[in-house]
Amino acid sequence: MIKIIIMLGIAASIRGGVGIGRRLSFAIRKESLTWYRNLLVQNQSDSFNYTPSVVCCFLWAQRPGVVLENFARHMSTASLELRTNNDFVRFSITKDGYSAKEKKSMKKVPRYVKMSKKAKLNELRLYRLKAKKKMNSPNPEVRIRYKLEKAKRKEAWLIEKLRKLEVPKTPGEAYDPEILTDEEKHYFKRTGEKKKNYVPVGRRGVFGGVVLNMHLHWKKHETVKVTCKPCKPGQIHEYAEELARLSKGIVIDIRPDNTIIFYRGKNYVQPKIMSPPDTLSKDKALEKYRYEQSLEHTSQFIEKLEKELENYQEHVVRYKKRKEAAVDSAIADDGLSQITNQS
């Protein structure tokens, strides 16, 4: 039986495989769909894809003697899909598997409409007008909320900019830190204090140029001083750890005047790339510093506005209570005056 079905399918495909029809139109009695429903229930699948030739041979084997008119004439290479939607079995005859109604019901992707220059100017003018109304509003709460929303938008924008400037730390080469005795540390500390060679760390912080300068000093000197100005409280220790990781040097001493003394090591070998790849450039480091400063000031301004808004809301609550108390006292005085007049 299977061989007969396969042969009939091949014959139908040879007969009807020429040309591409617009739509497969044929009439099948309801009894002809019984086999497909049973097969669907047995396999428990959602859809079957068959070519028209295979459908023809299966129907011929299932209902011998049925003449499928107009089927061979409109035969094409398009697939016939048996679909189930909401527990209802149906054939989908279209080439892409969707009917015309389903295509219309699909949501169309909105096309991007390019705004003209005049429309952009009108939109900006409207935005400025709304902002001006909020800034000049007689209600203090409206003014405070407008400033707070604007500051929060700026804070989110600055955080996104700083996130883009972050450089992922690449796993460095494993190295064995040298163990120094107390006498050696004291000697290198005295040597570093006497010598005048130093590397400045300014507002840009630690970037590739700082590490490059340290390696250049280590060509002729065993130690180098790193001065950090300006430096926040506790930031000097962060700089020391970061520079030790990037330069593979040894921290000898951290002085109170924000100065770090580094020792290059006994087995020091100058690297081929003296500026590490996981650091920022000079321009990017300055850009990051500016964003950090702006973010710090914006965060302080947001705290100030939130406190101001809270104080204003407390003032409104106290004013309402005072007003209610004044009304209650006025009502009580009117009642007493009426009682005295009646007596």
What is the arrangement of strands in the sheet containing 89-92, beginning at the earlier edge strand? 47-50, 80-84, 89-92
pTM equals 0.58
What is the arrangement of strands in the sheet containing 259-263, beginning at the earlier edge strand? 198-201, 223-228, 259-263, 250-255
Q: What is the pLDDT of residue 84?
A: 60
Please check the confidence at residue 293 and state whether its pLDDT lies above 60.
yes
Nearest one of 83, 126, 141 to 310, comparing CA atoms: 141
Higher-pLDDT residue of 78, 324 = 324
Q: Which residues contact 269 (CB under 8 A, 6 or more apart)?
A: none
Q: What is the mean pLDDT of the chain?
A: 76
Q: What is the pLDDT of residue 46?
A: 45
Nearest one of 245, 282, 244 to 263, comparing CA atoms: 244
Looking at the domain that runs over 182-286, which CATH code has it been given?
3.30.110.60
Instruction: Please give the C-alpha separations between residue 53 and each of 7, 67, 73, 151, in angstroms, as whole numbers.
Output: 11, 14, 12, 68
Higher-pLDDT residue of 343, 292 = 292
Q: What is the pLDDT of residue 310?
A: 93
Please check the confidence at residue 16 and state whether its pLDDT lies above 50.
no
DSSP string of 238-260, one letter each residue: HHHHHHHHHH--EEEEEETTTEE
Any idea which of 113-122, 143-152, 172-181 has the lowest mean pLDDT? 172-181
302/158 Cα distance (integer angstroms): 14
Token readout for 334 is 């009117």
